[in-house]
Each structure stands twice: as C-alpha cells, then as structure tokens.
Structure 1
Amino acid sequence: MATPLTLPGICWPLHASTGHLAVTTSHITGHFRAGRGQDAIVLCDLLPAGKFRNGAARHWCRTHQCYWGTQADLADQQAGQPMRCRQHASPMGYVLYPDLFDPMQFHAATLRLGTDGLLQLRARADDGGALFSRDLPALAIDCRALPGLFPPDVVQLNVTPPAAQAFAAALQADAPLGCSDCARCGHPHLDLGSFALAPHRRHSCGHCGHDASHSPMAIVSTPLWRLRDLPQRITQCF
C-alpha cells in the first residue's frame, strides 16, 4: 500500500455509538482517493486507556472509537503486525481541507441540517456585514478563539454528518440534551446512533477511552450543545 498522507481533514467512523469531535489537531493520516468520501483508510491513533475488567491493559483508538488489547489484538501484534485496532481496515467518512469557521468573526450565524444531508451555514461578517453562506458535508469550527468552551488543547470542533444527524434526531425526539465532560481528560462526550435517542448517565470518552464518567442526570450528550452558549454569535444551531 502507498505511503499514508497527513493532510488537514475531518474523518469519522461510519458505524459507532461514540465520536470524537473536539480534536487537538486539524490533520488526519491515511489513504484517501478523493477530496471527500466514505472510503478512507485512516491510521489508528492509540493511547493507553486503563485496563479491561479482567485486569489486562487496554488502549483506546481515537480514530475508530474502539479498544485494543484483546487476545486477538495481541496475537495480531505477535504475528508481526503493527499495533492496530480491530477496525483499522474499516472505511471511514472524510473531508480533506474542510472549511474552517471562526465564530468570532461573524454574528447571527445559523447552522442547520438540510434535507440533502448537508450542513447549511449562514452568517454575517462583523466587518461589513457580508453574508457568508455555505452548504457543506462537514465543518470545522475554530475553537482557539473560544476560550472556556472546551479544554485548552482543543483546536477545532469537527461537525461530522453522524454528529449532526444524531443532534437533529435528539432534538426532534425531545430528548434531554447536554454536554458531559470526561472525568479524566475533560473532553466532551458525543452520543451517536441509538445512544442519541436513549438518555443515560454513564458516558464513555471518545478522546481518551475513559468509560466511567457520569452526568448529574440522564442526558444525550453532544459538544454541539455548547455552541448554544454563544448566542451573540450563533443564533440557531439545528
């Protein structure tokens, strides 16, 4: 296989119950056939994540949102393969060179999910009031100008199709929404799929893999909820 490329981009698993939106780098590394699609092979990003219930050490893959350290994983490594999670070859959704939106340069911004599945971003520039209008498959929101909204190591919030769809579905179902932060690393938790329709208190972290954080009450958690804390900049978010 060709050498993997490291490029500015957003990627997401096609099937997952958690996600990783508040990222500490704007780049992804993998194999890409085009500027966007659902066929990327993205390299694992593994980090220590405590132990399994049987006491065996485990790692968390931020890329594919799953643990490494099972007997099958160890056998794969002992056979000479690089350390990689069980989903390492799974195709992923991706967008390269995504639009980077800085909310602090605009006002009256609205972000909606269109019927075609695209994100509809509309905003007025602070300088001159020009209309900023984009229909996008995914969006990166610059967090460096938003102190206090997320941990200081977060550089951008990636609004992916699964995250947007889950948020819209939870709103439509009138589920109790919020944003639960990881008790270990402080990063925000994201519920996807059926978890976005079933409020719960225990949340697993897509950033570090810690699986024992609890919200005060049962909620559907998404970092997109925090964008509503910027009413002077973002007047509507879904």
Structure 2
Amino acid sequence: MIIKREIKNNVTYLYLVEESYSPEKKRGETKKIKPLGVEEAATPLNRITEEFAVVWAEGRTLGNAVPFSERVIGQFPEAESGNGVILPCDIVPCGKFRNGAQRWWCRTHQVHWGIKADLQQVAQGDGGIRCSNATQPMHYTKNPMVINPDDYAGGIGIWAALPTAINTTDEPDIDGVVIHLHARPQLQGKKSIDANFPAVVVTSFDSLPLFGNALIKRVVIAPPSALAYLEALINNLPLGTLYCHTCQHPHLDLGDFAKNPHKKHFCGNCGVDSNWSKEPIVSSPLSELANKLTKNPDFVDSDRILDMRDYQNCQVKVWSSTPAVLWTSHLPQEAGIHVHIYQEKRKIVDDTFGQVTWFDGSQLERDKLLVTMLDKAKKPAA
C-alpha cells in the first residue's frame, strides 16, 4: 500500500491506496482503502500547482533519475527555474522498526517517518502527514529540455558542465553544475543544439532499453546525478545499475555513496535497505542508459596545438574536457583542453586542443585544470 494525493479546489487530500496488477486487463490497478485527511491548506501565498518539471535536492536521491511521472505537484515559484520549490510528502510503508512499530518512508524527501514525534504531529492536527524534511526548498526547472536520441542520427552528447578552470573574460562562470547538450540531426553534420540546461530528460517513443521495468520512458539527467556519475567515470570506479528487489526501481547513489563502491544499497524509492550487489559498485541508472545507447565508447586525444602567445590582446575561457554522461555518436569522444578565445566580444576560437601553451610560455596541464573545475563546482554559492 502507498499514500496518494488528489487536488480538489486547491486542497491536497491524502488517501491510503492499494496497488495491484490485473493479469486479465494486463495493467496495474489502484484501490482507495481509506482517506488520511488534508496534507496542506492552500493560500494565495502557499499555492500548490501541478507542473511539467524536474526537481532535485543537493546530494540526495530526490529527483531520482527515473521519475514516476512527468507531472510534479508542489509549491512552485513563478520563475521557470531556480531554487525554492516545496513538494508534498510521498510516504510509503517500508517494514517495521525493531520494536515492531510500522515504519514509513518519504520518497520525496528521502527520510523515514513513524517515530514518536511524527505520530504526535499528526495527533495535534497540524495539516496531515508530513516528514521532517517537508519544508526543505528544492531546485527545479519547469518545462525541462526533453530529447529523444532516435531523432538525432548524428548523435547526442550530454555532459555535467562544470565552471571554467580559467576565465579572463568579464562573463561570470556557471554556478555549480549544469547540463550541457550537443545534438546533431545528421551524421557528421552541424549541431542543432549546443547549450546548457538546468536538467535534461532523455525519452523514447516506446521505452528506453533498460533492464527491469519495461515501462521506463524517461531518464532525468540533473546536476547531482550527472556530477556523481562523472566523478565515478573520472576515478574509474566500478559502475552499474542495481534494481531494488522489492519495488524493482533502479537505484541511484549520490554524495559519499557515489564515491565509495559498496555492496549494500538503500532504495530511495521504497525505503528498503537490504539490496545487495554481487560486487561493490556505484549504482546509477545513467550507467545502464549509457551502456545501452553508446555506439562508440572510444576516446581519442586531440592532436591540435594552441599557443596563447599568438592571442596577446584576447580574452579566454579554458576547460579540461570531461567524459560525456551520455554519448550516442558513431564517432569517438575527443579528449584534451577546450578553449574559447574572444576578440573583444567576438568568439574567434572554439575547439579542443591536445597541447596549450599559456601566455607566459608554460604548458597547461589537463589534470590540474580538471581539479580546479571540480573544486569550483562544489564550492557553495556566495
């Protein structure tokens, strides 16, 4: 059984719902068991809306890479993207505590519910069932970029875009991590998309070629999951995609769990903490997405050479190249140092180089540039 919500006249009602599968109808069915009351009272300053959106938290599984629905219910700010959305709890049963009491899990806010303080909160009638993290503001983007790899014969590339390693322009760096997308409609053709997005949704007309749940049609690539996956790639950590033995949902490791491969995994979807992988791994649905859609896993080092002493009066941005989170081109990825050079406001160089000589004659080192980029990405915003 799970807890579901319905919005009527701007009021959110909670119901205990039983889910089952009908072999005759070949589809899932739900049955309301009993009402649980009102979750939030809506006011002009506390308005709950339903949006096509992606939502995520810093360093937590919220905004799981495989979402339950493209529609998100919450208190959204007016801006199209940013920080500050408040989401209702989504509380599901997840076994019992050691003393035999029922234990519940909020899969929205990633915290257990059912301790004595929680029960007192409900008894006092302060608005219904809510977990301890219910008022935490989350990052969000409404109407996210949605892309179907089947539409781009030339391939798509998706990266965890990091701040620059060096920036001599007056343009500010990105704050933290965003998602960069390249898309080419034709083989070896020009890019029709080359831009940063708060998050990107990879979708399919039918279902994505993942194991487990055949109904998966969307995988969300948001900053926390993209960064965790990138760091696992950079550090050559064993990656995989573990499916929960209870709910079959793909597991996503974030934060410290994504830095230390492990066998025992905690399911962020149903709260069960007894999932085991055969070997220590970092689990991410992005791993299986990449394994199934990648056509060319090879990398080639750029053979281009750049001497910045030839551009003394120009401004420059410099990045270390990073492996893509998703790469569907038939061509190999290119490794090196990516450089933008500007003459006044006009970009005159935009390419990846194997060797870059700096203005003082020293050679830039790709590994050191990458460390600087990662440090800047994790630095709290001012």
Relative to the length of structure 2, the TM-score reads 0.58
Q: How does 1:114-125 map to 2 (within 5 A)?
A: 114-116=161-163, 117-125=177-185
Inter-partner Cα distance in structure 2 for 1:95 and 1:80: 33
| TM-aligned CA deviation for residue 141 of structure 1 | 1.4
| Residue 264 of structure 2 corresponds to residue 202 of structure 1 | yes
Could you say which residue in structure 2 is the equivalent of 1:231?
A: 294
Q: How does 1:56-135 map to 2 (within 5 A)?
A: 56-81=101-126, 82-107=128-153, 108-116=155-163, 117-125=177-185, 131-133=191-193, 134-135=195-196
Q: Which has the higher contact order (CA 8 A, sep 6+)?
A: 1
| 2:270 partner SS | coil
| TM-aligned CA deviation for residue 31 of structure 1 | 1.1
Could you say which residue in structure 1 is the equivalent of 2:356?
A: none
Cα deviation per residue 1:187-233 (whole Å; 9 max; x = unaligned)?
A: 11111111110110111112222211111100011111012211249
**Residue identity matched to 1:30:** G
Inter-partner Cα distance in structure 2 for 1:121 and 1:179: 23
Mapped contact 2:55–2:63 kept (Cα < 8 A):
no
| 2:64 partner SS | coil
Match of 1:141 among 188, 198, 202: 202
| TM-aligned CA deviation for residue 143 of structure 1 | 4.7
Mapped contact 1:18–1:192 kept (Cα < 8 A):
no
| Residue 247 of structure 2 corresponds to residue 185 of structure 1 | yes
| 1:90 partner SS | coil
Match of 1:165 among 208, 224, 227: 227
Mapped contact 2:209–2:289 kept (Cα < 8 A):
no
Q: How does 1:1-16 map to 2 (within 5 A)?
A: 1=43, 2-16=46-60
Mapped contact 1:19–1:65 kept (Cα < 8 A):
no
Inter-partner Cα distance in structure 1 for 2:61 and 2:220: 16
Match of 1:55 among 86, 90, 100: 100
| 2:89 partner SS | coil
| TM-aligned CA deviation for residue 44 of structure 1 | 1.1
Number of aligned residues? 238
Inter-partner Cα distance in structure 1 for 2:297 and 2:68: 23
Question: Which segments of 5 or more consecutive residues in structure 1 lack a partner in the other structure?
Answer: none
Mapped contact 1:143–1:157 kept (Cα < 8 A):
no
**Residue identity matched to 1:200:** H
| 2:192 partner SS | strand
Mapped contact 2:62–2:108 kept (Cα < 8 A):
no
| TM-aligned CA deviation for residue 131 of structure 1 | 2.7
Comparing 25-34 with 53-62, which one deviates more in the overlay? 53-62
Mapped contact 2:54–2:144 kept (Cα < 8 A):
yes
**Residue identity matched to 1:167:** Y
| 1:125 partner SS | coil
**Residue identity matched to 1:135:** N
Higher CA-based Rg = 2
| 1:76 partner SS | helix
Structure 1 residues 175 and 232: alpha-carbon distance in aligned structure 2, compared to 1, 3 A threshold: closer
CA root-mean-square deviation: 2.4
Structure 1 residues 9 and 80: alpha-carbon distance in aligned structure 2, compared to 1, 3 A threshold: same
Inter-partner Cα distance in structure 2 for 1:147 and 1:169: 24
Inter-partner Cα distance in structure 2 for 1:138 and 1:118: 7
Inter-partner Cα distance in structure 1 for 2:230 and 2:83: 21
Question: Which segments of 5 or more consecutive residues in structure 2 lack a partner in the other structure?
Answer: 1-42, 164-176, 299-322, 326-382
Inter-partner Cα distance in structure 2 for 1:127 and 1:145: 23
Inter-partner Cα distance in structure 2 for 1:203 and 1:155: 24
| TM-aligned CA deviation for residue 126 of structure 1 | 5.9
| TM-aligned CA deviation for residue 15 of structure 1 | 4.2
Cα deviation per residue 1:63-87 (whole Å; 9 max; x = unaligned)?
A: 1111111111111111113111110
| Residue 88 of structure 2 corresponds to residue 43 of structure 1 | yes
Mapped contact 1:18–1:65 kept (Cα < 8 A):
yes
Could you say which residue in structure 2 is the equivalent of 1:214?
A: 276
| TM-aligned CA deviation for residue 3 of structure 1 | 2.8
| 2:72 partner SS | strand
Structure 1 residues 17 and 135: alpha-carbon distance in aligned structure 2, compared to 1, 3 A threshold: closer
